[in-house]
């Protein structure tokens, strides 16, 4: 396992990390979660990602119990949470000072830790002034409840606004973003965020490197039983797959699989290695419901060197979706 700086901070995160969205509680119970987290930790993973919205907090409960029962040194791992969707009542959602504070305290309790290494604003909140959210996050850091705070799926303009407010009022600025990034979702990460990375030194912990499993190749011949697209509440994923755009993506995955056989790797491994080739990626968040899935994707770190310029050119020829470089000369 290799470790990368989280942006311009001094924090070293494993280039592959383990997330809990969809899997923990929905597909993975405590025993399976402990097995997966132990497998990841033993492989060098030091970052475990979570959120208050995942399984309505139950993903954090499971992860917290594993962290307590394994008795790993608190100084040996990084744990995150995200704030936005905490419940149905008006004060349980969004990025108001009240909800940010209440959500942090609740996450600490569920995870059973004294502080969060990383705390993300899960989405931008148009109903709350950005200054209020920046001040709320700064207060949590001053209280020692959070070490670093960041954003998830914010626009570049919103990120720059938060930084500007932090500078103006001498508050702690956000230092990382958690966007979706994979072979099919590239425009925001590779184009819109270019200035965020170059000027602000942001770090990125990316989610869905396999595009909700499409880039694993497992949907090439249908939807397997017990996959996330069969879960209640995730019907929208199946709808995306069965859409004309989803079917076009499947055709490209089938073409990409031919290349993976030549390279001696799986489709999932190539998709993850593709993300790791981007120098602005601090960590790729993996999801897994079975040990064999996790073992396969963890090996992607060993295969990045096979992704040379020639291979990347072939991939680009299949994808046909490379964003325009905003820094390229006109």
Active site residues: 54
- Rounded to whole angstroms, how far apart are CA atoms 40 and 47? 9
For 32, other C-beta atoms within 10 Å of its C-beta total 17
Residue 15: φ, ψ to 5°: -65, -20
Rounded Cα distance, 169 and 138, in Å: 11
Contact present, 194 and 326 (Cβ < 8 Å): yes
The stretches of the chain forming alpha helices (DSSP H) are 30-42, 58-70, 97-111, 130-142, 156-169, 187, 194-200, 235-242, 244-263, 267-276, 291-298, 309-319
How many CA atoms lie less than 13 Å away from 191 in the CB half-sphere?
11
Question: Is 146 in contact with 104 (CB distance < 8 Å)?
Answer: yes
CB atoms within 10 A of CB 223: 15
Give the H/E segment covering residue 219: none
Q: Which two tokens stand for residue 87?
A: 């419940």
Distance CA(81)–CA(261), nearest Å, equals 37
Q: Do 267 and 217 touch, CB atoms closer than 8 A?
A: yes
What is the C-alpha separation between 288 and 24, in angstroms, rounded?
9
């Amino acid at each position: 396992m290799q470790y990368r700086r989280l942006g311009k901070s001094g924090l070293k995160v494993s280039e592959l990390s383990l997330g809990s969205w969809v899997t923990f509680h929905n597909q993975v119970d405590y025993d399976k979660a402990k097995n997966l987290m132990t497998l990841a930790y033993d492989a060098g993973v030091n970052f475990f990602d979570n959120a208050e919205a995942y399984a309505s907090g139950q993903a954090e409960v499971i992860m917290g119990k594993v962290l307590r029962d394994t008795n790993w040194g608190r100084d040996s791992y990084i744990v995150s949470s995200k704030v936005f969707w905490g419940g149905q009542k008006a004060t349980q959602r969004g990025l108001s000072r009240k909800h940010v504070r209440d959500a942090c305290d609740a996450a600490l309790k569920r995870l059973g830790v004294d502080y969060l290494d990383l705390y993300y604003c899960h989405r931008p909140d148009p109903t709350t002034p950005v200054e209020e959210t920046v001040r709320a996050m700064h207060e949590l850091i001053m209280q020692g409840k959070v070490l670093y705070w960041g954003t998830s799926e914010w626009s570049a303009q919103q990120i720059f606004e938060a930084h500007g407010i932090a500078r103006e009022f001498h508050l702690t600025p956000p230092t990382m973003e958690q966007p979706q990034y994979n072979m099919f979702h590239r425009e925001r990460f590779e184009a819109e965020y270019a200035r965020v990375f170059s000027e602000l030194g942001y770090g990125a912990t990316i989610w869905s490197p396999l595009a909700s499993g499409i880039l694993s190749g497992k949907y090439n011949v249908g939807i397997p039983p017990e996959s996330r697209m069969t879960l209640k509440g995730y019907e929208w994923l199946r709808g995306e797959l069965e859409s004309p755009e989803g079917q076009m993506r499947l055709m490209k995955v089938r073409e990409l699989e031919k290349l993976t056989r030549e390279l001696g790797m799986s489709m999932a491994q190539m998709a993850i290695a593709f993300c790791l080739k981007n120098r602005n990626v601090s960590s790729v968040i993996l999801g897994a419901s079975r040990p064999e899935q996790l073992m396969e994707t963890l090996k992607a770190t060993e295969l990045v060197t096979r992704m040379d310029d020639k291979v990347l050119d072939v991939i680009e020829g299949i994808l046909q979706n490379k964003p325009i470089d905003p820094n390229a000369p006109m």
